[in-house]
Chains A and B, each alone.
Chain A
Amino acid sequence: NAGVTQTPKFRVLKTGQSMTLLCAQDMNHEYMYWYRQDPGMGLRLIHYSVGEGTTAKGEVPDGYNVSRLKKQNFLLGLESAAPSQTSVYFCASSYGLADTDTQYFGPGTRLTVL
């Protein structure tokens, strides 16, 4: 069991470039999430998905898009990167059932936008 994996681990972009972050989980979880972590801010929810083919906005969705074409994968896209998107990005997944609903996190992706 790999748990939650994220690709890539590090990336440097120039302003205006685009990229996609991939999250994969092998725990058959229904729910998946993308967070960003900034110094002094904790983790903030960008987008999430409650099942294959569904997505919803979180607390800070602007500038990001997501897709959940397969249950095990959740993609986060930046169409035109900005320096304000420099952050560490975490993916998480959970069963989405109230009594067992604990989120498990990937190792994170450090993104720098110059």
Chain B
Amino acid sequence: AQTVTQSQPEMSVQEAETVTLSCTYDTSESNYYLFWYKQPPSRQMILVIRQEAYKQQNATENRFSVNFQKAAKSFSLKISDSQLGDTAMYFCAFMKPSNSKLTFGKGITLSVRP
């Protein structure tokens, strides 16, 4: 079975600065997908970014980018130029293509300070 670990329960960052959220996972699979989801106070789960394990290039979406280290089973999210609207809980998740089921980490609460 897969496990996803987010060891930092909370982080805080100053507006306009950069912050990195950590995630590690454990799997014996060679092909899989990794995701970061954002959950603002509204409770809606919003997809931030997705990475396919077979791609060596790190995924980027505007101010969001990942550092995917397959050998180390690490998948961190970097948020550049942090904005107040980035304040939310962030979840790292793992998916095996064969069953399309997501395994989530416990989440990290990010606060952006003005």
- Work out how many contacts link A and B, with CB atoms closer than 8 A: 49
In contact, A101 and B47 (Cβ under 8 angstroms): no
In the complex the two chains form, what is the Cα distance from A44 to B91 in whole Å?
12
Residues of A within 8 A of B102 (CB): 33, 43, 45, 92, 103
Chain B interface residue count: which class?
Answer: 20 to 34
Residues A48 and B101 in contact in the complex (CB < 8 Å), given A90-B45, A108-B43: yes
CB distance from B16 to the nearest CB of A (A): 29
Chain A interface residue count: which class?
Answer: 20 to 34
Residues of B within 8 A of A101 (CB): 33, 95, 97, 100
In contact, A31 and B100 (Cβ under 8 angstroms): yes
Mark A residues whose CB is within 8 Å of B. 31, 33, 40-45, 48, 50, 58, 88, 90, 92, 94, 96, 98, 101-105, 107-108
